[in-house]
């Protein structure tokens, strides 16, 4: 843990979602501690954020929280931990960070701790764009050849962002959309706090979804922008041991070892 007095709250910070067990991983480890190229995958996420200039990092822990804290104990940098005792969705995880974000005047990026292929160049591109246009929310999206299973980015006729539609709720036309949500968000922090206060869990899972924030912000008349900022390698997700092996192979081929 770093000296809080050294923190700069007007620079971008990041919330890293790392509370899940990852039940499909067939491992007792927290998902973010499953190793790729010989290291717990969360290290690569934190490395990329640091390389892109995001020093303040708020890691949301839950399942086996102490193990995650211990793994990250020797890292340099401004790491803070926030506890999510119950896993009630991605929106709930970020809600747990409200106190930590009260003094944050710079923007807040939200990323998944199980996305080791996140690229510093992509993060920097998103931050630079945010600084240019100053929206309430900038979504970093990806064009994917096979978008099956992912939330689609729906735009209006002029190309402006409208909403994220999950595949199970998508129409036949919407399922043909190849631009997808990869859970990489950069929020103007006061707008994020407002949106978090207005999240509801009126869904079959009774969970609070971060994907509801863009719609709430748009309906509140605030600017929401989506840009295709992510690279093909960043589309590789890890939900099971087979996907973990694929990501490991990809990272080795990219020179991560």
Catalytic (active site) residue 129: no
Class of residue 158 by CB neighbours under 10 A (exposed 0-12, middle 13-18, buried 19+): exposed
Catalytic residue among 24, 98, 200, 252: 24
Cα gap 92→51, rounded to integer Å: 28
Are residues 235 and 142 in contact, defined by beta-carbon separation less than 8 angstroms?
Answer: yes
Instruction: Go through 45-62 and write b for each residue having 16 or more CB atoms within 10 A of its CB, e for each that does not.
Output: bbbbbbebebbbbbbbbb
- Positions annotated as catalytic residues are 24
């Amino acid at each position: 843990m770093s000296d809080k007095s050294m923190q700069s709250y007007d620079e971008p910070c990041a919330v890293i979602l790392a509370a899940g067990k990852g039940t499909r991983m067939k491992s007792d480890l927290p998902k973010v501690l499953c190793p790729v190229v010989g290291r717990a995958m969360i290290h690569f996420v934190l490395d990329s954020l640091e390389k892109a200039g995001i020093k303040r990092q708020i890691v949301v822990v839950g399942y086996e929280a102490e193990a995650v804290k211990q793994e990250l104990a020797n890292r340099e940098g401004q790491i803070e931990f926030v506890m999510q005792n119950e896993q009630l969705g991605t929106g709930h995880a970020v809600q747990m960070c409200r106190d930590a974000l009260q003094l944050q005047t710079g923007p807040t990026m939200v990323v998944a701790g199980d996305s080791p292929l996140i690229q510093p160049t992509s993060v920097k591109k998103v931050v630079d764009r945010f600084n240019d246009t100053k929206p309430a929310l900038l979504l970093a999206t990806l064009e994917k050849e096979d978008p099956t299973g992912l939330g689609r980015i729906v735009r209006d006729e002029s190309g402006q962002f409208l909403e994220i539609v999950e595949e199970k709720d998508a129409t036949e036309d919407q399922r043909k959309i190849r631009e997808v949500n990869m859970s990489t968000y950069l929020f103007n922090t006061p707008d994020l706090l407002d949106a978090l206060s207005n999240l509801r869990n009126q869904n079959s899972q009774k969970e609070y979804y971060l994907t509801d924030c863009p719609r709430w912000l748009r309906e509140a008349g605030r600017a929401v922008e989506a840009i295709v900022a992510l690279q093909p390698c960043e589309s590789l997700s890890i939900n099971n041991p087979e996907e973990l092996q694929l990501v490991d192979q990809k990272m080795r081929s990219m020179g991560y070892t």
